[in-house]
């Protein structure tokens, strides 16, 4: 009796076995599935050490789930995917769609290469509840503003989680596999526990202890009020559809606020789908005429957390220490770089992508553009965060600042946001009121 021909499931940003639509589709074609991952230098070389190290941990966790049956190869995916499929006699390669600019170009090339060997290509689902590009205005144009996108996103809805797991198929023994490379040095940085199991454990901890107060606490960096799921969503250790299903029917303020945050992630992915050049260029081309400074020393001080503005310095040092930064603080430090130091947003975006464990091209670049005013929302260009008042509002007792800026640990309470003559702590490197006026004049020149 002839054994059923296997298929290949090529893992990318979907490093899990539960709620995996492409795995479910693969199981309908064959009960014999080869699990494949390609270590692609085009993606790995630009990635910072925290993200690469976390990826390695997630791959190890997935391999453990599969009983050591993850085929790991290194090289050009166009060649390696075809080679792996032919080695096991697969008729189809199944994937979750990659909607990023590089992923789309790469997948087009892989699909063409497979077709030359009569191997089919099957895309099912993506890293999002609703795949980017699916939601448009009635006239077919993409949404440019979040609020109407959010309403359309909710109206559209999303499928229920796919009922999948390890036992849904028989995993094929890999014909070969390379060793996972040694992870880059993190210099003492502790990353989250990688993998699907850790992602789900973190989610259920949040449901029990954080969801009810999420709307109040999510803007407070001094409190553990966020989900801390962003690294897991980045690599697909958990699917947003799983999370949204657990929130279904919950109309509390915490659940509503969290659904909104998931929608922001999907909105930015949708914008990048329609405008892939915005990963590197201004969404609003008028900002190409913006006057920027060129000041390597100012940029270095911002990167190191030595600006003399405590909430900014705390955020930048948290990034270097943990590979993560609280979202409210991300906005504060971004505003400071762009509107107090007058440096271009892409410098900060590049620094974030180098150091963030959750670095995601769509979310990172378009959030930076939102702060800079060059993105989809026309309003933020005249919003200039005052770093001192932001610190006083969102870190009212100064606990967040003291945690990451040891020079200020002797300064009590709210006074930590206006330190004076503290040994080893720098004076403010700019006059915020003056730089705010400079920023508004420059914005006015291009907006006018």
CA angle 107, 110, 114 (to 5 degrees): 140
Q: Say how far apart CA 135 and CA 156 lie, in whole Å.
A: 8
3-class SS at 48? coil
Position 2 scores a pLDDT of 45
Residue 62, annotated as binding a ligand: no
Domain check: are 260 and 397 in the same one?
no
pLDDT band per the 50, 70, 90 thresholds, residue 214: very high
pLDDT band per the 50, 70, 90 thresholds, residue 4: confident
Domain check: are 319 and 402 in the same one?
yes
Domain check: are 349 and 270 in the same one?
no
- Count: domains in the chain: 3
Residue 389, annotated as binding a ligand: no
Domain check: are 292 and 433 in the same one?
yes
Residue 69, annotated as binding a ligand: no
Domain check: are 94 and 140 in the same one?
no
Residue 118, annotated as binding a ligand: no
Q: Which domain holds residue 202?
A: 128-162+196-274
Domain check: are 45 and 92 in the same one?
yes
Residue 365 inside a domain? The answer is yes
Position 299 scores a pLDDT of 98
Q: How many helices (H) and strands (E) does the chain have?
A: 19, 6
Task: Please check whether residue 317 is in contact with residue 326, taking contact to mean a CB–CB distance below 8 angstroms.
Answer: no
Residue 85 inside a domain? The answer is yes
Span 249-270, average pLDDT: 97
**CATH at 206:** 1.25.40.80
Q: Inform me whether the pLDDT recorded for 434 exceeds 70.
A: yes
**CATH at 436:** 1.10.579.10
Domain check: are 324 and 441 in the same one?
yes
Residue in the block written with tokens 């990318």 = 12
Q: Say how far apart CA 80 and CA 73 lie, in whole Å.
A: 7
Domain check: are 132 and 76 in the same one?
no
Tally Cβ neighbours within 10 Å of residue 351.
Answer: 18
Position 394 scores a pLDDT of 98
Q: Inform me whether the pLDDT recorded for 361 exceeds 70.
A: yes
Residue 226, annotated as binding a ligand: yes
Residue 360, annotated as binding a ligand: yes
Q: What percent of the chain has pLDDT over 70?
A: 98
Residues 307-325 pLDDT 10s: 999 999 999 999 999 999 9
Position 279 scores a pLDDT of 97
pLDDT band per the 50, 70, 90 thresholds, residue 1: very low
Domain check: are 121 and 135 in the same one?
no
Residues 87-117 pLDDT 10s: 999 999 999 999 999 999 999 999 999 999 9
Listed residues 218, 248, 274: the one ending a domain: 274
Position 264 scores a pLDDT of 97
**CATH at 13:** 3.40.50.620
Mean pLDDT of the chain: 96
Query: What are the tokens at 312?
Result: 């900014």
Position 379 scores a pLDDT of 65
Span 237-247, average pLDDT: 98
Tally Cβ neighbours within 10 Å of residue 195.
Answer: 25
Tally Cβ neighbours within 10 Å of residue 99.
Answer: 21
Q: Say how far apart CA 71 and CA 281 lie, in whole Å.
A: 37
Residue 431, annotated as binding a ligand: no
Q: Inform me whether the pLDDT recorded for 73 exceeds 60.
A: yes
Domain check: are 44 and 138 in the same one?
no
Residues 150-159 pLDDT 10s: 999 999 999 9
Residues with Cβ < 8 Å from 437, sequence gap 6 or more?
none
Q: Say how far apart CA 175 and CA 309 lie, in whole Å.
A: 56
Residues with Cβ < 8 Å from 168, sequence gap 6 or more?
23, 24, 27
Residue 12 inside a domain? The answer is yes
pLDDT band per the 50, 70, 90 thresholds, residue 377: confident
DSSP letters of 332-382? HHHHIIIIIS---HHHHHHHHHHH-TT--HHHHHHHHHHHHT-SS-SGGGG
Q: Inform me whether the pLDDT recorded for 6 exceeds 90.
A: yes
Residue 173 inside a domain? The answer is no
pTM for this prediction = 0.96
Burial class (CB in 10 A: 0-12, 13-18, 19+), 293: exposed
Listed residues 219, 251, 274: the one ending a domain: 274
Residue 359, annotated as binding a ligand: yes
Domain check: are 320 and 404 in the same one?
yes
Residues 178-208 pLDDT 10s: 999 888 889 889 899 999 999 999 999 999 9
Listed residues 98, 126, 154: the one ending a domain: 126
Q: Say how far apart CA 12 and CA 39 lie, in whole Å.
A: 10
Residue 230, annotated as binding a ligand: yes
Span 210-237, average pLDDT: 97
Domain check: are 51 and 200 in the same one?
no
Residue 185 inside a domain? The answer is no
Residue 143 inside a domain? The answer is yes
Residue 116 inside a domain? The answer is yes
């Amino acid at each position: 009796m002839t054994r059923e021909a296997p298929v290949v499931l090529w893992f990318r940003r979907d490093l899990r076995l539960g709620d995996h639509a492409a795995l479910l589709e693969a199981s309908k074609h064959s009960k014999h599935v080869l699990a494949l991952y390609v270590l692609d230098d085009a993606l790995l070389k630009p990635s910072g050490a925290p993200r690469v190290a976390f990826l390695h941990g997630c791959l190890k966790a997935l391999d453990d789930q599969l009983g050591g049956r993850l085929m790991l190869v290194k090289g050009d995916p166009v060649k390696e995917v075809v080679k792996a499929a032919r080695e096991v006699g697969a008729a189809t390669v199944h994937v979750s769609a990659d909607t990023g600019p590089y992923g789309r170009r790469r997948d087009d090339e892989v699909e063409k290469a497979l077709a030359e060997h009569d191997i089919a290509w099957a895309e099912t689902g993506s890293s999002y509840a609703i795949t980017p590009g699916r939601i448009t205005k009635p006239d077919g144009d993409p949404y440019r503003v979040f609020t109407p996108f959010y309403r359309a996103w909710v109206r559209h809805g999303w499928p229920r989680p796919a009922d999948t797991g390890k036992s849904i198929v028989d995993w094929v023994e890999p014909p070969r596999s390379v060793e996972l490379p040694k992870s880059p040095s993190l210099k003492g940085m502790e990353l989250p526990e990688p993998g699907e199991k850790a992602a789900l454990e973190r989610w259920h901890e949040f449901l029990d202890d954080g969801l009810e107060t999420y709307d109040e606490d999510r803007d407070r960096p001094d409190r553990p009020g966020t989900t801390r799921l962003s690294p897991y969503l980045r690599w697909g250790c958990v699917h947003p559809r799983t999370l949204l299903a657990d929130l279904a029917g919950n109309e509390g303020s915490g659940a509503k606020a969290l659904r909104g945050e998931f929608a922001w992630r999907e909105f930015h992915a949708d914008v990048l789908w329609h405008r892939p050049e915005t990963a590197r260029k201004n969404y609003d081309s008028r900002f190409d005429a913006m006057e920027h400074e060129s000041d390597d020393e100012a940029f270095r001080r911002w990167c190191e957390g030595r600006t003399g503005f405590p909430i900014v310095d705390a955020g930048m040092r948290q990034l270097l220490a943990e590979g993560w930064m609280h979202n409210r603080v991300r906005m504060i430090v971004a505003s400071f770089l762009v509107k107090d130091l007058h440096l271009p947003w892409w410098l900060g975006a590049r620094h974030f992508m180098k150091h963030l464990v959750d670095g995601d091209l769509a979310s990172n670049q378009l959030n930076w553009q939102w702060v800079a005013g060059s993105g989809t929302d026309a309003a933020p260009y005249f919003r200039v965060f005052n770093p001192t008042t932001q610190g006083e509002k969102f870190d009212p007792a100064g606990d967040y600042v003291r945690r990451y800026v040891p020079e200020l640990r002797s300064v009590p309470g709210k006074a930590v946001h206006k330190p004076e003559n503290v040994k080893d702590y720098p004076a403010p490197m700019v006059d915020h009121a003056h730089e705010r006026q400079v920023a508004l004049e420059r914005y006015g020149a291009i907006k006018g």
